[in-house]
């Protein structure tokens, strides 16, 4: 009797599992499992670009990397030259303007450190975010634009 009840419960669970898995995989409102979602304090490139002139781009990479290429109008602000660059950046910043810091990639921590330091050392409240994907996301965006132009 116990075996029969147990097998019926197992069959019932398996029967319910099939539509549940199908709904999880194919439901139109199901979120993408592979979607690259930014963390708290990060911003997607598309969202930052939509803000236009309301963004002051800050490059947290080295002077050499900055000189090799950077987001147009981006200012250099890295920890190595912080004392020389910080006041110049703050002179260009205006209240209400978002600061978006980037470094090489998603795994680069330089932009995180610069963003934290900006928030700590600014005399006024600044809106600082890290560019999700960093310089690599900008380069991929530029490649997509160039391929559309060809």
User: How much is the pLDDT for 118?
Assistant: 93
pTM: 0.74
Residue 124 banded pLDDT, cuts 50, 70, 90? confident
Domain span holding position 104: 42-149
**Mean pLDDT lowest for which of 29-33, 104-108, 142-146?**
29-33
In angstroms, the CA 62 to CA 76 distance is: 8
Residue 34, in any domain of the structure: no
Residue 29, in any domain of the structure: no
What average pLDDT does this structure show over 38-45? 88
- Residue 78: which residues within 8 A CB-CB, separation 6 or more? 59, 60, 61, 62, 63, 85, 110, 114
* CATH number of 70's domain: 3.40.250.10
Query: CA nearest 102: which of 85, 73, 127, 77?
Result: 77
More confident residue, 30 or 48: 48
Residue 19, in any domain of the structure: no
In angstroms, the CA 74 to CA 59 distance is: 6
In angstroms, the CA 9 to CA 15 distance is: 10
Residue 3, in any domain of the structure: no
Residue 30: how many CA atoms within 13 Å on its side-chain side?
Answer: 12
Q: What is the number of structural domains in the chain?
A: 1
- How confident is the prediction for the chain on average, in pLDDT? 86
Residue 108 banded pLDDT, cuts 50, 70, 90? confident
User: How much is the pLDDT for 34?
Assistant: 47
Residue 16, in any domain of the structure: no
Q: Which residue has the tokens 């020389």?
A: 84
Residue 74, in any domain of the structure: yes
């Amino acid at each position: 009797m116990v075996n029969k009840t147990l097998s019926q419960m197992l069959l019932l669970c398996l029967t319910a599992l099939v539509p549940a898995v199908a709904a999880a995989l194919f439901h139109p409102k199901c979120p993408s499992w592979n979607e690259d979602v930014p963390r708290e304090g990060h911003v997607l490139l598309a969202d930052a670009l939509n803000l236009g002139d309301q963004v002051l781009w800050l490059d947290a990479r080295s002077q050499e990397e900055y000189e090799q290429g950077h987001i147009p109008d981006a200012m250099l602000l890295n920890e190595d030259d912080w004392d020389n660059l910080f006041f110049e950046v703050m002179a260009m910043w205006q209240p209400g303007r978002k600061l978006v810091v980037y470094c090489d990639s998603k795994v680069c921590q330089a932009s995180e450190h610069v963003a934290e330091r900006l928030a700590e050392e600014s005399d006024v409240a600044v809106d600082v975010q890290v560019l999700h994907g960093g310089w690599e996301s900008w380069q991929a965006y530029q490649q997509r634009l160039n391929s559309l132009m060809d």
